[in-house]
Amino acid sequence: MRNQWLMLAACFWVLFMLMVASKFIPLTFRDKDSYSIKSRPMTWSAVAQARKLPVAEANVETLKPTGKVLEDTAHKPQIQIDRMELLRNVCRNASLSNLTHTTVSKFVLDRIFVSDKHKILFCQTPKVGNTQWKKVLIFLNGHFPSINKIPEHLVHDNEKNGIPRLSSFSKPEIQERLNSYFKFLIVRDPFERLISAFKDKFIINPRFEPWYKHDIAPAIIRKYRKNHTETRGLQFEDFVRYLGDPHRRQLDLQFGEHIIHWVSYVELCAPCEINYSVVGHHETLEADALYILKEAGIDHLVSYPTIPPGITLYNRTKVQSYFSSISKRDIRRLYARFKGDFKLFGYQEPDFLLN
């Protein structure tokens, strides 16, 4: 009899302890999940800020109604199905394999940003609205009350922004993420992207990165300028001749990581080696961003920043005017170098530039 009482008391004790413990266990797990970013220790102020942020407040910004009806997950839009089928078919085309295949090197792994919390991999393709996507990923880490509050300099500070590169993980960790995470990249018309890179790095240079004008431009001019009486800075013609040169590798090595602004999507993201879940197109970004957020399972947490009307549309007049003074031979060589990008992602060969 006494033993039975003891057993009963012991049972209640265990039950009581379990109830107490259950109050703490989820919290500890949640903390670990949210704040332990692999090999990127957060500063204390960032953690404190994150702790202060109530969940409800974080959701205010994110639950803005978009006014659009989302399709059922089971029914992928036909355009997305067609894109992935085209990508797979072109990857298999042996006569294009030099232009569509690459190795998943450290250079590629450096381009891919990781959200472990939401199991997302994002391959960065500069000049295609990547800053906004990085802001989306930073916001998801929970340290900022809204996307607008993320400082611009932090977005580009890849050591501090809390979204590690895939290259910072071990081989098995990389493999596991490539196999199981949601993976995406965004592309746009390849020639329009080159125009944007040229303007951004050699004409406007908004973030004042002096090495483009002081080191890279003179090196390209030295090797590719035809008209030696021309003394102006880098011209689009010089840039096109450099990019179309099949033997430019030596110069690319010299330029280091800066080439990410103009090398092909193939070289940046290895789209035939990595099985991407979705490829977004800049030209249809509004619809594609919604689709990506939904497929990544984060559409209830965040929305893509508002896209100013018209800026993502392909501008044929602009492309025509940039290429109007470039020789047909140089345009053909440029196309030959970027043909893989055109074919893989379904962009029309720009024959209006060649006739």
- CA diameter of the chain: 109
Q: Which residues of 78-104 are buried (b: 16+ CB within 10 A; e: fewer)?
A: eebeebeeebeebbeeeebeebbebee
Nearer to ligand NAG, 22 or 97 (CB): 97
Give residue 220's Cα distance to chain centre. Answer: 27
Give the shortest CB-300-to-ligand NAG separation in angstroms: 21
Would you count residue 277 as binding ligand NAG (CB under 6 A)? yes
CA dist 289 and 301 (Å) reads 14
Stretch that binds ligand NAG, among 103-111, 195-203, 227-235, 250-258 (CB under 6 A): 227-235
CB 292 within 8 A of CB 183: no
Give the shortest CB-169-to-ligand NAG separation in angstroms: 20
Would you count residue 104 as binding ligand NAG (CB under 6 A)? no
Site string for ligand NAG, 33-72 (x = CB under 6 A): ----------------------------------------
Q: Which of 22, 36, 98, 180 binds ligand NAG (CB under 6 A)?
A: 98
CA dist 84 and 192 (Å) reads 22
Q: Which of 230, 233, 327, 332 binds ligand NAG (CB under 6 A)?
A: 230
Q: How far is CA 44 from CA 26, 28, 55, in A?
A: 22, 18, 20
- Count, residues near ligand NAG per rule CB under 6 A: 15
CA dist 163 and 138 (Å) reads 7
Q: Which of 317, 324, 325, 355 binds ligand NAG (CB under 6 A)?
A: 317
Axis crossing angle, helix 328-344 with helix 78-92, rounded to the nearest 10: 110
DSSP 121-156: EEE--TTSSHHHHHHHHHHHTT-SSSGGGS-HHHHT
216: DSSP letter: I
Nearer to ligand NAG, 59 or 93 (CB): 93
Nearer to ligand NAG, 180 or 205 (CB): 180
Q: Which of 3, 229, 324, 325 binds ligand NAG (CB under 6 A)?
A: 229
Would you count residue 103 as binding ligand NAG (CB under 6 A)? no
Q: Which residues, in sequence order, are CB contacts of 115 under 8 Å at separation 6+?
A: 121, 122, 137, 140, 141, 163
The pair of structure tokens assigned to 303 is 């929305």
Nearer to ligand NAG, 98 or 148 (CB): 98
Q: Which of 310, 324, 325, 355 binds ligand NAG (CB under 6 A)?
A: 310
Give the shortest CB-88-to-ligand NAG separation in angstroms: 9
Which residue's entry shows tokens 């880098």? 234
Stretch that binds ligand NAG, among 14-22, 89-97, 266-274, 285-293 (CB under 6 A): 89-97
Would you count residue 321 as binding ligand NAG (CB under 6 A)? yes
Q: Which residues bind ligand NAG (CB under 6 A)?
A: 93, 95-96, 98, 227, 229-230, 275, 277, 310, 315, 317-318, 321, 343
